[in-house]
Amino acid sequence: MSKQEGINAISKAMTALPAQLSDTILKHIHSLTDYEPVIGIMGKTGAGKSSLCNALFAGEVSPVSDVAAGTREPLRFRLQAGERFMTIVDLPGVGESESRDAEYAAMYRQQLPHLDLVLWLVKADDRALAVDEHFYCQIIGEDHRHKVMFVISQSDKIEPVSGNTKSLSIPQLRSIRRKTEILSTLFTPVHPVCAVSVRMQYGITLMAERMIRCLPREASSPVSARLQQPLRTTRVKETARTDFSEAVGDVLDSIAAMPFVPQIARTVLRYVRNAVVSVAHVVWDFFF
């Protein structure tokens, strides 16, 4: 299956449009298929950020900037899987000194608009949540909270820890549910709180499915393509497929709304819109 075949199929659904207009639309669809997502990751040091990224995403990781130890700059990693790229930004600050709040606020104001989603890890046995709450309230502006997804990490470390190294015990699962409720109350997050353990491979599939649902339309398919193979579940693919076809619909709508488009072309555009969206839905596999 090649990308070109997908493009051809979409192009066929637009034969009624003037060539110039369908070319413009195809160019936009091309850039949707090439979109390079950017995911931020936050949490205190040792929360399990690197471990979770490795559990979620496949591919070669290369640091983009090497920053000297001690400097608190976001670390960018570019992840390559085949011809596809994704960027992970390791964001500093949580649990550090309040005296640097102004500095962090400025850094986050600069970073957040460029991130598709931020995974915020809270270690299961970390009770110093006031620090996270302070940071969330002071540093992450209201208008970016929809980009934050809270994840309870290292769930196997929650009390009561047993000798079992394969799965969480029933009392631990109960503690996890309580911790989830505590975080939900404390942060009133836009998205549901997830719990994972990389060590025990607990909760990762569900977390990945929710992450795909939290992502903006244009980002869910490219992120799904970079997930570890077992995490590319039917649900992940269906969410991504629908998002992609709706993003294609958005392209047509925005072009139909442009002032230079002649009335007649606008009418044809509205007429073919749903057919194009349906084709995009079907040919998703050619792209991702």
Ligand X SMILES: Nc1nc2c(ncn2[C@@H]2O[C@H](COP(=O)(O)OP(=O)(O)OP(=O)(O)O)[C@@H](O)[C@H]2O)c(=O)[nH]1
CB of 46 to ligand X, least distance (A): 4
Q: Minimal CA–CA distance to 237: which of 194, 274, 281? A: 281
Is residue 233 within 8 Å of residue 205, measured between CB atoms?
yes
Q: Are strands 84-90 and 194-195 parallel, antiparallel or unpaired?
A: unpaired
Q: Which is nearer to Mg ion, 50 or 278 (CB)?
A: 50
Task: Report the C-alpha gap between 285 and 58 in whole angstroms.
Answer: 18
**Binding range to Mg ion, per CB under 5 A, among 43-51, 76-84, 114-122, 280-288:** 43-51
- Kindly report the backbone phi and psi dihedral angles of residue 51, in degrees, each rounded to the nearest multiple of 5, phi listed first: -60, -40
Q: Minimal CA–CA distance to 58: which of 207, 211, 229, 202? A: 229
CB of 48 to Mg ion, least distance (A): 8
**Contact with ligand X (CB under 6 A) among 172, 197, 220, 239:** 197
Q: Which is nearer to ligand X, 173 or 261 (CB)?
A: 173
- Which three-class secondary structure state does DSSP give residue 73? coil
**Contact with Mg ion (CB under 5 A) among 7, 9, 26, 50:** 50
> Which of positions 18-77 make contact with ligand X (CB under 6 A)?
43, 45-51
| C-alpha atoms less than 13 angstroms from C-alpha of 42 in its C-beta half-sphere | 28
Q: Which is nearer to ligand X, 197 or 224 (CB)?
A: 197
CB of 43 to ligand X, least distance (A): 6
**Binding range to Mg ion, per CB under 5 A, among 7-15, 46-54, 208-216, 249-257:** 46-54
> Which of positions 143-182 make contact with ligand X (CB under 6 A)?
154, 156-157
H or E segment and range at residue 6: helix 3-12
The four Cα atoms 125, 149, 54, 81 give a dihedral, to 10 degrees, of 180
Instruction: Check residue 51 for interaction with Mg ion (CB under 5 A).
Output: no
| C-alpha atoms less than 13 angstroms from C-alpha of 247 in its C-beta half-sphere | 23
Q: Which is nearer to ligand X, 122 or 255 (CB)?
A: 122
CB of 52 to Mg ion, least distance (A): 9
Q: Which is nearer to ligand X, 91 or 248 (CB)?
A: 91
CB of 112 to ligand X, least distance (A): 20
Which alpha helices (H) appear in 193-282, and where do they start and end?
Answer: 204-214, 217-224, 234-256, 263-282
Is residue 256 within 8 Å of residue 266, measured between CB atoms?
yes
CB of 175 to ligand X, least distance (A): 15
**Contact with ligand X (CB under 6 A) among 3, 28, 199, 266:** 199
- Site residues, Mg ion (CB under 5 A): 49-50
Q: Which residues bind ligand X (CB under 6 A)?
A: 43, 45-51, 154, 156-157, 197-199
